[in-house]
Amino acid sequence: MAEFEIKGMDSLKAKLQKLPGIFHDAIWDGAFDVAEKAEGYAIKELQSSIKHGNGELARSLKYEVVEKDGKIVGRVWSDNAVAWYRELGTGLVGQMSPKKLPDGFEPSYRQTPWFIPADKVDVDLNEVYGMPVITIKGKKFYRTKGQPARQFLTPAIDQTSSEADKIVANRINRALHDKLGG
């Protein structure tokens, strides 16, 4: 009967025991990379498409990574109400405009026109959006049926989703190399 000895078994076991933590941390860091990249794409889209803005909407974007039901999840969002209006559109115009919505999400839209006091906005909405100006009892208003959806978050998330696997895989490979040697 031949005998043999496997050298380095203790070292191998120690490295194998580290793997779950290494993978978790690398996936966590990768999720941050993906969320940050999505935020960057959204900002780029906003900056290329907003003519009359001060950057407030782009600065309102936030991202985080959380654990939910045993999964690591990245989130990108804005608390600014204008983000919702821009992403989904408003009124009848928004309802009719093309947009990508998550399955089961059906926003409701105002079905009647409304008025915006001209003295409450910083830009000429007739010049910018073609909203007609109406004078009622000496006060000027813009009349609107809404604005089309001008999505910036959804395309950013879609673009980043196609890159996410590679981003996370790079984080995992780097972590394995750094923590276990390569």
**What residue has token string 């390569």?**
182
The answer to the question of residue 64 being in a domain is: yes
Q: 32-72 pLDDT, tens per residue? A: 999 999 999 999 999 888 777 788 899 999 999 999 999 99
Q: Which residues contact 109 (CB under 8 A, 6 or more apart)?
A: 89, 90, 91, 92, 94, 95, 146
Residues 137 and 158 placed together within one structural domain of the fold: no
Residues 151 and 67 placed together within one structural domain of the fold: yes
In angstroms, the CA 155 to CA 126 distance is 28
CB 67 within 8 A of CB 73: yes
Q: 121-146 pLDDT, tens per residue? A: 989 999 988 999 999 999 999 999 99
Residues 59 and 102 placed together within one structural domain of the fold: yes
Adjacent-strand bridge partners of 67: 72
Residues 81 and 26 placed together within one structural domain of the fold: yes
Residues 140 and 153 placed together within one structural domain of the fold: no
**Average model confidence (pLDDT) across the chain:** 93
Residues 122 and 91 placed together within one structural domain of the fold: no
Domain count for the chain? 2
Q: Which of 57, 51, 52 is nearest to 39 (CA)?
A: 57
In angstroms, the CA 124 to CA 160 distance is 36
The answer to the question of residue 5 being in a domain is: no
pLDDT of residue 53: 75
pLDDT of residue 127: 92
CB 106 within 8 A of CB 95: no
pLDDT of residue 37: 98
Residues 80 and 154 placed together within one structural domain of the fold: yes
Name the residue type at position 165. Answer: D
**120 DSSP 8-state letter:** G
Residues 126 and 140 placed together within one structural domain of the fold: yes
Q: 66-111 pLDDT, tens per residue? A: 999 999 999 999 999 999 999 999 999 999 999 999 999 999 999 9
Residues 46 and 120 placed together within one structural domain of the fold: no
Q: Which residues contact 174 (CB under 8 A, 6 or more apart)?
A: 26
Residues 165 and 138 placed together within one structural domain of the fold: no
Residues 45 and 103 placed together within one structural domain of the fold: yes
**What residue has token string 């830009």?**
123
**pLDDT grade, residue 4 (50/70/90)?**
confident
In angstroms, the CA 18 to CA 25 distance is 11
Beta-carbon count within 10 A of 14 CB: 11
Which two three-digit tokens encode residue 154? Answer: 């959804």
Residues 30 and 69 placed together within one structural domain of the fold: yes
The answer to the question of residue 1 being in a domain is: no
Whole domain around residue 139: which residue ranges?
A: 113-145
Its pTM stands at 0.82
The answer to the question of residue 2 being in a domain is: no
pLDDT of residue 182: 62
Adjacent-strand bridge partners of 71: 68
The answer to the question of residue 11 being in a domain is: no
Higher pLDDT among residues 42 and 15, named by residue: 42
